[in-house]
Amino acid sequence: MWLDIWRNSWIDSGLFEDLEKELEGAESMFDKVFNKMRGIGTATTLADSPNYHGYLITIDHDGKPRIREFGNVRASAKGVAQINGAREPLVDTIVDEKQHVVRITVEMPGVNKEDIKVSTSGRHVTVHAEKGDKKYHADIPVDVSLEESSTRASYSNGVLELKIKFKVPKPNGREIKIE
């Protein structure tokens, strides 16, 4: 009984409400200070749009692992987080040696196929899309020389799929007759 009376007197005094307000103010101040120190703006700037960062680990056609970063937040050499204007989408690249085709899958939800621009040159594919606040950009290097005119693209449910034939290297050298 006495415990209930004591507990109610603390709750009724408003002490906890005041303490909660003070803690919220301190948290806001720390967010602003730390973000300014890291060079990424204020907490309200970060909260305006979602931030993404991740790694995609795949095995290349030659058996070597490949690690790629994606997202719109990066770490610099000093460990400072930087927000890029466009999000780098998740990209998966598969080289099909049997069919001589490179298959590239790019996730870009929230845009229409009319908003997407794809270009290829040599051993490089660039994908860019922009619609309202949705911005995507990816520079995709590939290990083979591409036939730019063979590029086929489809976009459905936020996923862009590219199929590009690649040039089969001709063996160098010439046949030598045996005497």
C-alpha 33/C-alpha 31 separation (Å) is: 6
Across the range 148-159, mean pLDDT stands at 91
C-alpha 155/C-alpha 138 separation (Å) is: 16
Residue 40's SS3 state is coil
Percent of the chain with pLDDT strictly greater than 70: 66
DSSP β-ladder status, 53-59 and 116-121: unpaired
Mean pLDDT of the chain: 76
Q: What is the CA radius of gyration of the chain?
A: 27
Contact 87, 101 (CB under 8 A): no
pLDDT of residue 171: 72
Give burial (CB, 10 Å; 0-12/13-18/19+) of 163: middle
| Inter-CA distances, 104 with 39, 52, 79, 134, 150, Å | 34, 21, 31, 21, 14
The string of pLDDT tens digits covering residues 32-89 is 666 666 665 544 444 455 666 777 777 776 777 877 777 766 665 555 455 557 788 8
